[in-house]
Structure 1
Amino acid sequence: MNKAITYSEDQLAEMEEAFQLFDNRGDNRIHISHIGNALRALGQNPTESDVKKFAQQHKADERIPFEVFLPIYQAISKNRSSNTADDFNEGLRHFDKEGNGFISSAELRHLLTTLGEKLTDEEVEQLLAGQEDSLGNINYEEFVRSVTSG
């Protein structure tokens, strides 16, 4: 059973307003290459693979209207896993050698810049700011909580 997502007028207006931020021609359309940024501006966190999957359904130079963007937004929001924080914690737990809830900031920095969707050093610096204790360790559950809560 396919459940349709319904949005209030306020929610739709907010989505359309964020969408319009990426309309650089004033034609109520955005370039297909901007869908990832538009989704992120609306609080979604699509992977690059998600973005490519949707972008490949359109021509590389295509500009899409909000009516085409909305189903993409809906698909990304449906796929958002409520277990994301648990998944991150479980993955980081493997690097918690002492089983005390901490991993070294150097190790976390390495993971974030080399695995999955690699972050830049600057992005890692922003994420880790204020997370490190006096021993150079990070409570990974607090870290995940701060990252996933936006």
Structure 2
Amino acid sequence: AFTRVTADDYREAFGLFDRVGDNKVAYNQIADIMRALGQNPTNKEVAKILGNPTPEDMANKRVEFEAFLPMLQFIVNSPNKGTYDDYVEGLRVFDKEGNGTVMGAELRIVLSTLGEKMTEAEIDALMQGQEDENGCVNYEAFVKHIMSV
């Protein structure tokens, strides 16, 4: 359960996303609020919590803080959080030489095709400064990098 202080902090953050002044936020802001509060839900998880709304509902339906808190609690307690070791293990599969690196080009393909597909611009931002002179990425350092973003 959240403490009173935590709930007040969450209410304050929630309020920053209320553009209308009705103490509610749009469905399409829920993921952003959760991320602003240090969580990292997938878009799929958020859609599930919201009852898989249509794009129109995402833009037009609104949620009050009291309905948002249980959603946040669900994400906070979600067992699906990937750990550092999970990500490293997942990338180790692409480490052909067994030297702790993966080809940057291969990593880009993985990021653009698996799970929540990323756009080229998102991938470029994430990969910036990660490749060595041979186009390889130290995936342990890369995972530390993405988990700190």
Normalised TM-score (structure 1): 0.88
Deviations 1:42-67 (A, max 9, x none): 11111121111111178934321111
Normalised TM-score (structure 2): 0.88
* 1:55 partner amino acid: L
Residue 43 of structure 2 corresponds to 48
Residue 102 of structure 2 corresponds to 103
Quick check: 2:11–2:65 contact (8 Å CA) kept in 1?
yes
Quick check: 1:33–1:55 contact (8 Å CA) kept in 2?
no
1:82 Cα offset (Å): 6.0
Rounded Cα–Cα distance in structure 2 between residues aligned with 1:105 and 1:57: 34
Q: Where does structure 1 lack aligned partners over 5 or more consecutive residues?
A: none
CA separation of 1:79/1:65 partners in 2, compared to 1, >3 Å: closer, same or farther? same
Residue 23 of structure 1 corresponds to 18
List structure 1 runs of 4+ shifted beyond 3 angstroms.
Answer: 80-83
Quick check: 1:93–1:101 contact (8 Å CA) kept in 2?
yes
Aligned length: 145
* 2:44 partner amino acid: S
Q: Where does structure 2 lack aligned partners over 5 or more consecutive residues?
A: none
User: Percent of counterpart pairs with the same letter?
Assistant: 46
- How big is the alpha-carbon RMSD for the aligned residues of Structure 1 and Structure 2? 1.9
